[in-house]
Structure 1
Amino acid sequence: MALFVYLVLFLALTRRSSALYCLCKDGVGDQALQKAIDYACGAGADCSPILQNGACYQPNTVKDHCNYAVNSYYQRKGNAQGTCDFAGAATTSANPPATSSGCVYPSSPSNAGTTPSTGSPPGTTPGSPTPVGISPTSTTGLSGNGANLGGINSELLLLSVLTMWLAIRV
């Protein structure tokens, strides 16, 4: 039995979490999606790929540009809890959106880049202020369909439970 517990503990500590993407929800209006784009692009996302002639400009839809912008923001913020909500317009997904244009979505903070966007966010003109009034977090502080515990927190919880169980058994 102890071997089983150690095996579970080993697997929990060596488990690799899969990539998460932040994507705009279906059925959300274009105005809410544009607000998410404006916030993400003004707050640190790399939106140069969705500018005209950028690698992810096509298809030129608000939804596709929103997917790229909120995902870039989410990745650059290190997948932190609450950085993929955008007033309910976005949620996390284990799968990137399907693209026919060859656009590649960052899947981790390490490949999201660190250089701020040099272009204006879509829907703005150079020199215009970035629209405000939306933040990446909801009022509940939950992301998407509920709280995201994250890989480290869930591993610590599992480790704590196993440690207590072993202490009781001894």
Structure 2
Amino acid sequence: MTGIREFINSKDIVPSKIDSSGVYLSNFPRFNSSSNYGLSKDRRLGKIEHLPNTEHPWGHFYGCNMVFKKEHVIKAGLFDEKYDGTWGYDDIDLAYRVINNLKVRPIYMEKAVVYHQDKIDPAEAVNEKSIKLKDLKNPNYQYICKKIPGYYEFSNREFKRFGLTII
């Protein structure tokens, strides 16, 4: 299962005010996040609502908001420790192995919302080109592109979907 991300600035959060009602975080203003191609709405919207009938459904699963049965994660081989911890892609790789190799049906859960607490000041200008360049230089991105057939092409189509130029 997966849900969406809501992007909020972490610098204004008072942890002691967070409770299970979700009201405190749900009232925070959203902003254009660099981890989301400079968009305020989760970039996967338009795709994840159509799970499992979307291209590469595993490509829309992020660790901050994905749930799998423990036995499926174990059978898929857990997280691949060859990802160096730089940033990302280990979650997409795990989702690929669970969904593709084990034939687990991916499900979108509309009410499963994660408040993604970005540490970047929302007033900062987002340079979308630098985001893709950062991906291309990321050893984890290079690794997943070699490991999963067609991932490079898929990620570039996703980038183009937002009218962004591939570097």
Task: Give the alignment's TM-score, normalised by structure 1.
Answer: 0.28
Return the structure number with greater strand share: 2
TM-score, with normalisation over the residues of structure 2?
0.28
Larger-gyration structure (1/2): 1
